[in-house]
Amino acid sequence: MTDICPFSHTSTNDRVFALVSRAGLDGKRVLDVGAGEGYFSRLVGEHLKARGIAPATVLRACDLYPHMFKYPDVPCDAIDAAGTLPYPGGSFDAVCAVEVIEHLEDQFHFVRELFRVTKSGGRAIVTTPNLLNVNSRLRYLANGFWLLFDPLSLSSHDPVHTGGHIHPVTFYYLAYIFYRAGFRAVQVHFDRHKASAIAWSALLAPVFLLGRVALYARLRRKLPAVHAENAALLRLQNGWGMLTSRSIVIEGVK
């Protein structure tokens, strides 16, 4: 088979695959958004073939550059730079976008598109670099740039893969975008945990604890209703997974 390179870390793809396949895929419809060369599509497709299911009966892919797609068992459709998806509403049981959203200008529009094409009761899964792991927090403190986000060319526009990390988004605000789009039961999962982040997190644990206490105290005093509404999300801000994982995996149910 033609060699297919991932544009994102293999552990991130593996985590999304585990979430998508956990309840079985027979009779389901899955969309791989921003599929690149087709690494994630191949993970799903080979899993289906091993069970005697033709990948194209379950899986569809799309990308800004569909000619780059190399997995022959699945069609890949063209999308535009705005992230508008060429499918009717309610078409898919699971819609996945692995390391895509940080490349897009209008993240609210993109997540609304994911919501639109997801079936009622279906799931959308979006991954992005975890800006809140302790290594990224320290880098931002030191030089003003998150990990995996650097100064960009001001004289050219590259909306995708090379140099295209144009829109960093933290866990809380991505979860907020999901809720604004209409998703419910928004959850966060993590891929791999970085050894250096584990060490830094243990060392700086008192700092994060004090920060959490101060935030909660201010919110309870000034915005008690907002604090109550956000309690579940706020507990995750300085949780172990958030402090140590490379990427976050946001899952929303329609």
Residue pLDDT, tens place only, 197-214: 999 999 999 999 999 999
Phi-psi region of 237 (alpha: psi -120 to 50; beta: other; left: phi over 0): alpha
Q: In the predicted model, is pLDDT for residue 1 greater than 70?
A: no
Q: Are 40 and 60 in contact (CB under 8 A)?
A: no
Q: Are 14 and 96 in contact (CB under 8 A)?
A: no
Q: Is 149 helix (H, G, I), strand (E, B) or coil?
A: coil
State what percent of residues in the chain have pLDDT above 70: 96
| pLDDT on residue 28 | 97
What is 10-133+143-194+245-253's CATH topology? Rossmann fold (3.40.50)
Residue type for position 29: R
Could you tell me the residue ranges of all domains in the chain?
A: 10-133+143-194+245-253
| pLDDT on residue 64 | 92
Query: How far is Cα 77 from Cα 35, in angstroms, rounded to an integer?
Result: 10
Higher pLDDT, 242 or 162: 242
What is the per-residue DSSP string for 47-90? HHHHTT--GGGTEEEEES-GGG---TTS-EEE--TT----S-TT
Tracing tokens 């791999």 back to the chain, one arrives at 192
Residue pLDDT, tens place only, 157-167: 665 444 689 99
Residue pLDDT, tens place only, 138-159: 999 999 999 999 988 887 766 5
State what percent of residues in the chain have pLDDT above 90: 89
What residue spans of the chain are helical by DSSP H?
10-21, 39-50, 107-117, 134-143, 171-181, 195-222, 224-237, 240-244
Average pLDDT over residues 23-42: 96
Average pLDDT over residues 111-126: 98
Backbone phi, psi, residue 241, to 5°: -60, -40
| pLDDT on residue 155 | 79
Residue pLDDT, tens place only, 47-104: 999 999 999 999 999 999 999 999 999 999 999 888 899 999 999 999 999 999 999 9
How buried is 162 (Cβ within 10 angstroms: 0-12 exposed, 13-18 middle, 19+ buried)? exposed
Q: For residue 118, what is the enclosing H or E element?
A: strand 118-129
